[in-house]
Amino acid sequence: MVDDDKPILEVVSEALADEGYAVVTATNGEEALERIHNDASIDILFSDVVMPGLSGVDLAKRAASLRPELKIVLASGHAEGWIEGLPQDVHFIAKPYRLGEILQTLSRRVDG
C-alpha cells in the first residue's frame, strides 16, 4: 500500500492486515518501486494517485513494466475520467472509500 498521508496509510494497512493481507507500506512512489523490486512476494499494488514526486499513475506504469504480472489498484478523490494516463488494466477506487470496497476490489484482483 502506498499513500503519502501517513494516518490513512496506517489505518488502512492495519485494517487490511486484520483481514489477512500481508501488507508492505510505502509513503511515496520511489519507495514503493524499491519494495516491489526487492520483494517478489508482492502481488498487488494499492496506491493513492495524487502524491508528491512520482504520482500513482506513473508508479503504476513503472511497476507494471518492472513486474508485468503485478495487479494494480489506484485510489483518488478525483474522478476516474479526470486522471490522465490511467493504464487500462489498472482498477480504480474513488475516495473516500470504505474498507469493504477495498476488500472486494482486492479480492477480485487476486482472483481475476
Burial 46-67 (b: 16+ CB within 10 A, else e): bbbbbbeebbbbebbbbbbeeb
Local structure of 98: helix, strand or coil: coil
pLDDT category at 49 given cuts 50, 70, 90 is very high
Mean pLDDT of 23-33: 97
Q: Which residues pair with 18 in a beta bridge?
A: none
Q: Is the dihedral of CA 41, 20, 32, 95 positive or negative?
A: positive
pLDDT in tens, 4-20: 999 999 999 999 999 99
pLDDT category at 37 given cuts 50, 70, 90 is very high
pLDDT in tens, 61-90: 999 999 999 999 999 886 655 677 777 788
pLDDT at 99 over 90: yes
Of 76 and 27, more confident: 27
User: Exposed, middle or buried: residue 81 (CB in 10 Å: 0-12, 13-18, 19+)?
Assistant: exposed
